[in-house]
Amino acid sequence: MPLSREKIAAAAIRLADAHGLDGLSIRKIAKELGVGPMRLYDYVLNRSELLDLMVDVVYARIAEVDQHQEWRATVLAIAHATRRAALDHEWFSDLLGARPHLGPHALAVGEATAAALSRSPRVRDVGDLQRALGALNGFLVGAIRREVTERRTARSTGTDEAAWQASLGPYLTRMLETGRYPTVARLVIDGAHLDAEETFSHNLTTVLDGVTGG
Amino acid sequence: MPLSREKIAAAAIRLADAHGLDGLSIRKIAKELGVGPMRLYDYVLNRSELLDLMVDVVYARIAEVDQHQEWRATVLAIAHATRRAALDHEWFSDLLGARPHLGPHALAVGEATAAALSRSPRVRDVGDLQRALGALNGFLVGAIRREVTERRTARSTGTDEAAWQASLGPYLTRMLETGRYPTVARLVIDGAHLDAEETFSHNLTTVLDGVTGG
DNA sequence: TATTGGTGGATACACCGTACGGTAGCGCGG
DNA sequence: CCGCGCTACCGTACGGTGTATCCACCAATA
C-alpha cells in the first residue's frame, strides 16, 4: 500500500483536527505516515496544494446532503452542513474564503447552491445570481469564522467565569471601565448566552430572505 | 529616537502592504528599522501581538469616519471604511475574523456600530443587538475576504482573458466541460463583470435591511 | 574607584518548506 | 542472457522562521 493523495489528505486532516493548522507540517504528516518528508512531494506539488486537497475532502462531506426539491430547503441544508463541517474541522474555517475553492467537490456544492438559488423567483438573470451567491457565501464564511474563533477563545480561556475574568478580564474590564465603550460593555456584561446554532439559523434565514427578496 | 511600538507597527505595515503577510517576518522588520531582531521583543510580546498591533492601527483609520446622527448612515459609513481599509491593506482581510479584535480602536469602531445599530427601531433588547451585530459583521468579513481573494487571483493570473484561460483554464474548463456544473459554468462564462463596489453596496443594504427588519 | 543596572547585540536552538543528488529495482531491446 | 534506461524511493542540505539565552558595554551611583 504505497501511499496516495487520499491517505496523505486523511493523515493531514487527522493532525489538523488534533493540533490546528499551525501544528500541521509536512514533516509531521510524513512521520505520521512513516515515510520521509520528501515522499509527499511525489503526490502533492506544494503545501498549499495539500491544503486544497484537505479542503476538498471536507467539501465532499458537505456535498452529501440531500437535495430537496424545495430550493430554500436545499440552501439551508447546505449552509448548515457547511457550519457543521467547520465545527468538526476548525481549521476549515481558517481556509474559508482564503483562496478560491476549485476542487471537484467544492464545485459540486457551489453548483448545488447556485442551482437552488437560481430557482428562487426573485433571482432572474445571471447578475442577480452572482449577487445573491456573493451575499450568501459572504455571510456564511463570516458567520462561521466568527463562531469558530469565539469557540476557540472560549476554550483557551476556559468557559467558567473566573478563568475568563482572569485572562481577558484585566485588560478588557479596564478598557470597559473607561466608559468609552458603553454599548460594548452592555453587550459583554448582560449579553444573553444565546444558543450558537439558533443564532446562526436566525441570521441565515434573515440574510436569505433579504437576498431572495422575501 | 529609540524605537517604539508605533514605529514597529508602521514598519510592519509597510512591509505587509508591499509583500503580504507571508513576506513579513520579525527579522525583516528589524532590518527595515536598522536594529537586531531581538530588539523588537522589548516592545512586543509576540509575533501575534505585533499583528494585533497592526490591526489596531488600521482600525484607527476606520474609526475616523464621521458619525452621522442617522444610525443607518453611520453603519454604512463604517462598513465602507472597513472595506476601503481592507483594499488598501490586503493583509488586513487575512486577519479579519481570525481572532477577537480587542485593541482600543477596534473597540471604538465596535462601539460605534453597536451604538448605531441599537438605535434602529427593530433592535429592542440586547439579544436583538447581538444577533444584528453578528449578522452584519459576519457579512462584512465574508464579503471583504471574498473580494480580496478575488482581486488577488485576478492579479496573479492577469486580468486579460488570454492569461486567465492559460492559467486556470486548463483545469477549470476541463472541469466545466464535464457538464456536471452547468450553473457554475453559466456564471463563469456569461457572468457579467459587475462593479465590485456596487455589488458590495447592494448586498450590504440588503443584509442591513434584513437585520433591522426593513 | 568599584559596583550595579539596564540596554543593545550576537549567538543558538528547534523547526519549517522544499531543491537536489543518489540509488535500487524493474521492464525492455539487443 | 546481458545491459540499458526509466521510474519510484530516499536522505541530506539550504535558507528561512520565531524566539530564549547569554554577553558586552556603558552610565550612574555608592
**Average pLDDT estimate for B12-34:** 96
Instruction: Please check the confidence at residue B2 and state whether its pLDDT lies above 80.
Output: no
| Average pLDDT along chain A | 90
Res A1 pLDDT > 60: no
Residue A90: Cβ within 10 Å count: 19
pLDDT bracket for residue A140 (50, 70, 90)? very high
Instruction: Give the integer Cα–Cα distance in Å for B131 and B211.
Output: 8
Share of chain A above pLDDT 90, in %: 74
Q: Does B131 touch chain A (CB under 8 A)?
A: yes
Greatest Cα pair distance, chain A, in angstroms, is: 64
Q: Tell me which of A119-123, A172-176, B161-165, B190-194 is least confident.
A: B161-165
Q: What dihedral angle (degrees, nearest 10) is formed by the CA atoms of A157, A24, B13, B203?
A: -80
The CA distances from residue A177 to A169, A181, A184, A189, A192, in Å, are 11, 8, 11, 12, 20
Count of pairs with CB atoms under 8 A, one residue in A, one in B:
180
- Give yes or no for residue B46 having a pLDDT over 80: yes
Check pLDDT > 70 for residue B167: no
Contact A32, A14 (CB under 8 A): yes
Rounded Cα distance between B37 and A158, Å, is 34
Residue owning grid cell 516592545? B43
Produce one character per residue of A50-68: b if its CB has 16 or more CB atoms within 10 Å, e if not: bbbbbbbbbbbbbbebeee
Q: What is the pLDDT of residue A87?
A: 98
Interface test with A, best of B137, B172, B187 (most A CBs within 10 A): B187
- Whether B175 and chain A come into contact, CB under 8 Å, resolves to yes
Residue A160, pLDDT score: 62
Q: Which pLDDT score, from 0 to 100, does residue A48 have?
A: 93
Nine-digit cell at B15? Answer: 512591509
Q: Closest partner residue to B130 among A141, A191, A207, by Cβ?
A: A191
pLDDT digits (tens, 9 = 90+) for A78-133: 999 999 999 999 999 999 999 888 899 999 999 999 999 999 999 999 999 999 99
**Which range is least confidently modeled, A17-21, A50-54, A63-67, B39-43?**
A63-67
Residue % of chain B over a pLDDT of 90: 76
- Mean predicted confidence (pLDDT) in A7-30: 95
Q: Which residues of A touch B99 (CB under 8 A)?
A: 149, 153
C-alpha A135 chain-centroid distance: 16
What is d(CA B43, CA B39) in angstroms, rounded to the nearest whole number?
Answer: 8
- If you compute the radius of gyration of chain A from its CA atoms, what whole number of angstroms results? 21
- Mean pLDDT across B166-195: 82
Identify the DSSP state of B192. -
Q: Do residues A98 and A52 touch, judged by C-beta distance below 8 A?
A: no
* The residue type at B106: A
Q: Which grid coordinates are listed for B77?
A: 459609513
pLDDT tens digit sequence for A179-195 = 999 999 998 887 768 89
The grid coordinates listed for A78 are 447546505
Closest CA to A202 of B213, B115, B74: B213
Return the residue matching grid coordinates 457550519. A83
Q: Which pLDDT score, from 0 to 100, does residue A52 have?
A: 95
Rounded distance between C-alpha atoms, residue A169 and residue A167, angstroms: 5
Structure confidence at residue B86 (pLDDT): 98
Give the CA dihedral A20, A24, A30, A33, nearest 10 degrees.
0
**Is the model's pLDDT at B10 over the cut of 80?**
yes
Q: Report how far residue B189's alpha carbon sits from residue B69's, in angstroms, rounded to the nearest whole number.
A: 44
Kindly state the cell numbers that stand for B13: 505595515
A179 inside 8 A of chain B by CB: no
Write out which nucleotides of chain C lie closer than 7 A to a protein Cβ. Answer: 8-11, 15-20
Of all residues in chain A, the one with the smallest CA distance to B194 is A127
Report the distance separating Cα B71 and Cα B113, nearest Å.
Answer: 9
Q: How many Å apart are B212 CA and C6 C1'? A: 57
Q: Minimal Cα–Cα distance from B184 to chain A, Å?
A: 6
Nearest-CA residue of chain B relative to A118?
Answer: B183
Q: Which residue is nearest to nucleotide C19 (CA to C1')?
A: A38
Contact B130 A209 (CB under 8 A): no
* CA nearest neighbour of A116 among B179, B184, B150: B184
